[in-house]
Amino acid sequence: MNKTQMNQFNMMKSVDKFFTNHQSLVSTNPAIVATVNKLKSLISDINSLSNVQAVNTKADSAIKAEVKKRLINTALKVAGGLSAQAAAMGDARLKQAADITLSELNVMREADLLIKIRTIHEAALPIAAELAVWGVVQSDIDDLITIADEYSTQSPAIRNLVAKTEQATTDLKARMKEANTLLKDTLDAMMLPFKTLQPSLYGEYLNARAIVDLGGGRTTAPVDTKPAE
């Protein structure tokens, strides 16, 4: 919710509070009651959408980065064992499978990184026993796939979260527009008779309808504020 929307939303809640405080004065008017209930419903929707919109992907991205770090560290450990075993055996193919650096892994696209991880895993799996002497154990080899699967599930989760927040932003804008229209075109007109019937009550309504800028300013309520003739 941006600053303008927040200012408007605070005004809407002030109007809702006004009618709660003066419920006995307007409860006999079904049209006003129905409109106020509609406003309450919109306020509830806006509040829920604002909560969804406020969620960001920073935490999820940080988790994904940590999983990637674990994945790369494990890959380098296994690759190091493969390189040592390749040198001991004079195996050029095994050496090629293990030929990778930290900087290369860090800059790889996600799909390429996962392919490389599986290449290392496939090369290490048949010679797990031989790799033990180089400090690589079976759990290290297994972790390549386990962590790779964990890493690959992070991106869809982050994309889904982004999609939800974007949709919430769109829906919130629509609800805000609906609520502002309800106030301007319906509730303001319904309250206009109180300008003559109960001027003090109408004055309180105008105060509730005033939009107070979070920066400290105050704007005039978008209703007719001229004295009664």
Question: pLDDT at position 56, please?
Answer: 60
Tell me the average pLDDT across 62-81.
92
How many residues belong to the chain? 229
218 backbone dihedrals φ, ψ, rounded to 5°: -145, 130
Question: pLDDT at position 229, please?
Answer: 35
Whole-angstrom distance, CA of residue 199 vs CA of residue 203: 6
Of 229 and 153, the one with more pLDDT: 153
Print burial letters for 143-153: b (CB count within 10 Å at least 16), e (below 16).
bbeebbebbbe
pLDDT of 25-71, one tens digit each?
778 899 999 999 999 999 999 998 888 776 666 667 778 888 999 99
Whole-angstrom distance, CA of residue 127 vs CA of residue 146: 19
Question: pLDDT at position 127, please?
Answer: 96
Question: pLDDT at position 227, please?
Answer: 34
pLDDT of 114-151, one tens digit each?
999 999 999 999 999 999 999 999 999 999 999 998 88
Whole-angstrom distance, CA of residue 215 vs CA of residue 218: 9
Q: Which residues pair with 186 in a beta bridge?
A: none
pLDDT of 177-207, one tens digit each?
999 999 999 999 999 999 999 999 999 999 9
pLDDT of 12-25, one tens digit each?
999 999 999 998 87
pLDDT of 169-179, one tens digit each?
889 999 999 99
Whole-angstrom distance, CA of residue 124 vs CA of residue 132: 11
Question: pLDDT at position 222, please?
Answer: 52
Whole-angstrom distance, CA of residue 18 vs CA of residue 147: 56
pTM: 0.55
Tell me the average pLDDT across 91-115.
91
Print burial letters for 55-75: b (CB count within 10 Å at least 16), e (below 16).
eeeeebeeebeebbeebbebb
Delimit the domains of the chain by residue range.
3-56+174-219, 58-161
Whole-angstrom distance, CA of residue 16 vs CA of residue 203: 15
Tell me the average pLDDT across 207-221.
70
> Minimum mean pLDDT among 61-65, 93-97, 111-115: which range?
61-65
